[in-house]
Structure 1
Amino acid sequence: MTADPHDIRNLATARTSGDGLLLRPWDPESDADVRSWLRGITDPEFRRWNTPLVPVTDLTGARDSLRARALRAGEGLAASFVIADAGSGTTLGHIGVNDIRPPLGVATTGYWVLPEARGRGVATRALRLVADWAFGELGLHRLELDHAVGHGASCRVAERCGFRYEGTMRGAIFEPDRRDAFRDAHLHARLATDPEPERP
């Protein structure tokens, strides 16, 4: 039995685990979490493909960013997770379920992985895990994902996790480190009724 998609809940304490990973909330009062968040969103490879709506360049900005995310989670509008190693607790990256629209049962997802954790299937495992959580715990019908055109690694993660390519969105996201120029993005989505993706 799935949750009522019209139900708006506090998601600030949401968590799930599996496949060697733990997804837990970011803690804006944790210095370690704030440092990891700042390192992730200022990483050159992240910035190549993503331009945050609100620039974050220091620890104060990073803490404010995490506090804003915690507020949205408390209002049931989003859930932001640390991707952590289930055994050691080491932070590996981030994944979120964002822009939750309960009446439609629709949300978006996005992720990044810290440099030292890349090449280990972290994003693929985390996306499968968060999709299972979103369709099961939240009772969502549709989960969307987009990435800049040319970001082949993100495209492969999406497809491995059953997020079908649905088209190109013209001028949908900012150019790197700009807010006055736009680039195209690929849209992927997965429905709760889609077949489970094959797992290695």
Structure 2
Amino acid sequence: MTSTHERFLTSMVPEVSGHGLRLLPWDADSAADAEDWLRGLTDPEFRRWNTPLRPVENLESARASLRSKAERAADGADVTFRVTDAVSGATLGQIGVNMIDPIVSAARVGYWVLPEARGRGVARRSLHLATRWALTNLGLHRLELGHAVGHDVSCRVAERCGFPYEGTLRGAMWEDERRETFRDVHLHARLATDPEPAA
């Protein structure tokens, strides 16, 4: 029987299509990919709700960040997709299946959307695709999604994609760009046994 980890390693970062989107690997050697990654991680709305583990402030650090993501994919720890428009190929955002634990068959999912792509259901559609891929292709049992308390848009996306609210994690993430202070997180989760919501 093939383990979750072995299935992940054989698939690496595949292409996943549907709902008008294509989820593709990021390419650290692509100038366009590095620029889009930098724009996403330096966007004020992203920074309002997230504090990256390693700051990304310029193209050099963006490329280093993407290379780190590729290494974690090769190790079977994370997979990070570039969310693109299926017709134009334009980058719309990113979605990642992170902290993959084959022992307990669980992972965490997170996403962001570039400013020009907001209001078009990109987060919801990409979460549907990535969730189906993780629960089916990776054979995971549980996916968790956490967001800062007060991030109502992310809360609605989670619930519309079949990730019900499970509780509040106290002081579970850094305050926006301040690593010495913490804020609470809403935890949502989806199980492989849960019914799939309408796309």
Say whether the fold is shared (TM-score over 0.5): yes
The corresponding residue for 1:108 is 108
What are the equivalent positions in structure 2 for 1:47-126 lying under 5 Å apart?
Answer: 47-126=47-126
Residues 136-147 of structure 1: matches in 2 within 5 Å?
Answer: 136-147=136-147
- 2:107–2:142: 8 Å Cα contact kept in structure 1? yes
- Work out the CA distance in 1 between the residues paired with 2:12 and 2:24: 9
Report the CA distance between 1:11 and its aligned residue. 5.0
1:79/1:98 contact within 8 Å kept: yes
Alignment deviations for residues 33-89 of structure 1 (CA, whole Å, 9 cap, x no partner): 000000000000000000001111111001000000000001111100000001111
Change (3 A) 1:10 1:50: farther
Cα 1:137–1:164, aligned 2, differ >3 Å: closer, same or farther? same
2:117 and 2:191 map into 1 onto residues whose CA distance is 28
Partner of 1:148: 148
Residue 13 of structure 1: how far off its partner (Å):
3.4
SS of corresponding position for 1:116: helix
1:132 maps to a residue whose letter is R
Q: Percent identity?
A: 62
CA distance, structure 2, for counterparts of residue 69 and residue 127 of structure 1: 19
Between the aligned partners of 2:99 and 2:181, the Cα distance in structure 1 is 23
Secondary structure at 2:3 match in 1:
coil
> What are the superposed Cα offsets for residues 92-116 of structure 1, whole Å, 9 maximum, x if unpaired?
0000000000111100000000000
Q: 1:70 to 1:10 in 2, by over 3 A?
A: farther
User: Which residue is 2:133 aligned to?
Assistant: 133
Amino acid at match of 2:100: I
SS of residue paired to 1:9: helix
Distance change (3 Å), C-alpha of 1:3 and 1:124? farther
Partner Cα distance (1:168, 1:12) in 2:
33
Count of paired positions: 198
Q: 1:53 to 1:129 in 2, by over 3 A?
A: same
Letter paired with 1:67: R
CA distance in 1 between counterparts of 2:84 and 2:28 reads 16
Instruction: Report the CA distance shift for 1:140/1:3 in structure 2 as closer, same or farther (over 3 A).
Output: farther
Where does residue 5 of structure 1 map in the other structure?
4
Larger helix share, 1 or 2: 2
Partner SS state of residue 46, structure 2? helix
Q: CA RMSD in A?
A: 1.4
1:6 and 1:86 mapped to 2: Cα distance?
A: 29
Task: Give the distance between the partners of 2:10 and 2:132, measured in 1 at CA.
Answer: 19
Structure 1 stretches lacking a partner, 5+ long: none
Q: Residue 197 of structure 1: SS of its match in structure 2?
A: coil
Q: TM-score, normalised by structure 2?
A: 0.96
Q: For the residues of structure 1 that align with 2:112 and 2:73, how far apart are their CA atoms?
A: 19
* Residues 12, 33 of structure 1: alpha-carbon distance in 2 compared, 3 angstrom cutoff: farther
Unpaired segments of 5 or more residues in structure 2?
Answer: none
Q: Is the 8 A contact 2:109 2:145 kept in 1?
A: yes
| Distance in 2 (alpha carbons) for counterparts of 1:64 and 1:79 | 16
Which segments of structure 1 move beyond 2 Å, counting only runs of 4 or more? 2-8, 10-13
Q: Which residue of structure 1 aligns with residue 24 of structure 2?
A: 24
* TM-score under structure 1 length normalisation: 0.96
Letter in 2 for 1:30: S
